Amino acid sequence: MTDPTPAGDAARPVILAVDDDPAVLSAVRGDLRRHYGRHYRVVTAAGGAEAVATLRTLKLQSAPVAVVISDQRMPEVAGHEVLAAARELFDDVRTVLLTAYADTEVAIGAINDLHLDYYILKPWDPPEERLYPVVDDLLGDWHAHHRSGAALTRVVGTRWSTRTHEIRDFLQRNQIPMAWLDVDVSAEGRTLWEAAGSGALPLVLTPDGTGLADPDVAELAAALGHKTHTDTETFDLVIVGAGPAGLASAVYGASEGLRTVCVERLVPGGQAGQSSRIENYLGFPGGIAGADLARRAVTQARRFEVEVLAPTTVSGLDLAGPYPRVELSDGSAISCGALILACGVSYRSLDVPGSAEFEGRGVFYGAALSERDTVAGEDIVVVGGANSAGQAAVFFSDHAKSVTILCRAAELGAKMSDYLVRQIAARPNITVRCGTTVQAVSGDGHLEHVTVAGAEDASTEQLAASSMFVFIGASPHTDWMPPQIVRDARGFIRTGPALGGQRHPTADGDRDPYLYETSVPRVFAVGDVRAQSIKRVASAVGEGSVAVQFVHQVLRG
């Protein structure tokens, strides 16, 4: 370790660089210190064995290690072994492999086996183009996930409380560093609860010391400084929904000069934001968590001065005037030149005995990644056969004792991507039961058993399970819309050619609706809420960006 910790310097996050070539090590150290030395502690190691020893020392010092950059070809301990050791010691560390062109296959293998974050080909000159953007990106990810004790929001409650689950899920999906204290098992949790007067649970303690007893999501968001309303009454473009489609519309609209606001009822990211890892999205060879993708998109939107309001609920849409007017649940309203509906879908509820009673107490809709730690060492069930169910099963298999996938279809491959099917087959603690449906759920105060039946067998079987995560199709968020917005029988919004030849009047005569335009001129629909859309992140982003081109046309007209 060539950079001993100076007095008062231990709190600065560490960037560790490793290479057994003194000239290369000197170059990378110089580049890193020049760009990051003011805010980070740049540490170097002259070889793999020294790097592993350095990492262990940093662990004992409780040093925050943010990024490890290691050369691959080193005697005794290779670069991928250094990065594996870093992952074992520091859960949230970001890893980069320095490779020659001949070693790219090793780097790709490390992406698959170690979840390597990135690899950089040597030489990396100029660093402004080939080194710093990569490290900047990884540091942003690290800061979003790193749990600094001084900045933690503490949640005190009980595991089997629906309200506690809602708050933990909200914080996790917003990537707000959180400490979860169960009063049933945590002495510290009981002490905090008693100190607060043993009032209603859950108790939320924000980093500034504010205590909130059983807050709703809107109250918690306001206490954490989230923007939930706007002082502006008119925008060029209003977007309802901040999933991939809505955020893409926001970025493209604002970057092209439109005054834009994006209104989200819960958490930016939509269903994609709940995905533990999206591995087939272009440009992220190591995959990306849905929440990370959403955070990046929100940051990008705000860079272009998009107002992102979340959580903020849209209660109605007034189409009586010449321009759409979006009504919010707080009584305010926003007028706009054009409106994009990207309000997405929710997983359908499981309509079986016990499911409503145990929702939030063992039965969860969507990935509910906040339950990662609570299911450690337990038997759980995932219901569904598409990608979201597969991603959740793989994610939870790293923590749960066993994961049982219940799929109504005859095989997983019917709706699930091949890469996920192969990952599931390689996990020994995942069991797949196709042709199976849930008949009932039961337990004493929380989920304990799931009753299942085969499609061709009337007999039932009871599975022990502490948690069940359900992904069984989706219902669109369109109940609040006026009847002028034409929808199909399931509530999805019809657009463009799907409107069956409807025409829109203009000053120059009637015209066909634009590709993503609804039955109401100036109102568009994109993403999962649109009828006949392809339910993939990439297609949602594409629709959101393309719709902005038609927005420009209606604004000019």
- Residues 467 and 379: beta-carbon distance below 8 Å: no
Comparison of pLDDT for 74 and 114, the residue scoring more:
74
CA 470 – CA 366 distance, rounded (Å): 6
CATH number for the segment(s) 14-145:
3.40.50.2300
pLDDT of residue 175: 87
CATH, range 363-470: 3.50.50.60
Q: Residue 194 class from Cβ within 10 Å (0-12 exposed, 13-18 middle, 19+ buried)?
A: exposed
- Distance between CA atoms of residues 443 and 534, nearest Å: 38
pLDDT, tens digit, 9 for 90 and up, residues 450-506? 999 987 777 899 999 999 999 998 899 999 999 999 999 999 999 999 999 899 988
Look at residue 300 and tell me whether its pLDDT is greater than 60: yes
Backbone angles phi, psi at 456, to 5 degrees: -110, 5
* Tokens standing for residue 370: 């906040």
Average pLDDT, the chain: 92
Helix residue spans in 95-186 (DSSP H): 104-114, 127-130, 132-145, 162-173
**Whole-number Å distance between alpha carbons of 169 and 176:** 10
Range in 245-254, 403-412, 453-462, 518-527 with the lowest mean pLDDT: 453-462
Q: Which of 329, 327, 332, 324 is nearest to 524 (CA)?
A: 324
Separation of alpha carbons 474 and 320, rounded Å: 31
> What pLDDT does residue 7 have?
43
* Integer CA distances (angstroms), 439 to 350, 442, 453, in order: 10, 10, 7
State what percent of residues in the chain have pLDDT above 70.
98
The identity of residue 81, as a single letter, is E
* The model scores a pTM over 0.95: no
The three-class DSSP label of residue 300 is helix
Q: What is the pLDDT of residue 484?
A: 97
Query: CA-to-CA distance for 203 and 188, rounded, in angstroms?
Result: 13
Same fold, 150-223 and 234-346+476-556: no
For residue 9, is pLDDT > 60?
A: yes
Stretch (H or E) spanning 53: helix 48-60
β-partners of residue 524 are 340, 517
Mean pLDDT of 351-370: 93
Using CA atoms of 199, 204, 210, 214 in order, give the dihedral in degrees to the nearest 10: -50
User: Closest Cα partner for 251 from 547, 493, 531?
Assistant: 547
Q: What percent of the chain has pLDDT over 90?
A: 80
Per-residue tokens: 90: 């520091």
Residue 1 pLDDT: 45
More confident residue, 286 or 441: 441
Is the pLDDT confidence value at 174 over 80? yes
Give the tokens for residue 234.
Answer: 């008119």
Judge whether residue 112 has pLDDT over 90: no
Tokens of 265: 């009822």
| Reported confidence tier of residue 51, pLDDT bands at 50, 70, 90 | very high
Which run of H or E residues covers position 512?
A: none
Residue count (the chain): 557
Domain map of the chain by residue range?
A: 14-145, 150-223, 234-346+476-556, 363-470
What class is the 234-346+476-556 domain? alpha beta
CB burial of 275-311 (b: ≥16 within 10 Å; e: otherwise) equals: bbbbbebeebebbbbbbbbbbbbbebbbebebbbbbb
Distance CA 134, CA 529 (A): 34
Domain spanning 150-223: CATH superfamily: Glutaredoxin (3.40.30.10)
> Pairing relation of β-strands 234-240 and 402-407?
unpaired
Tokens 């604004």 appear where?
Answer: 555
SS3 324: coil
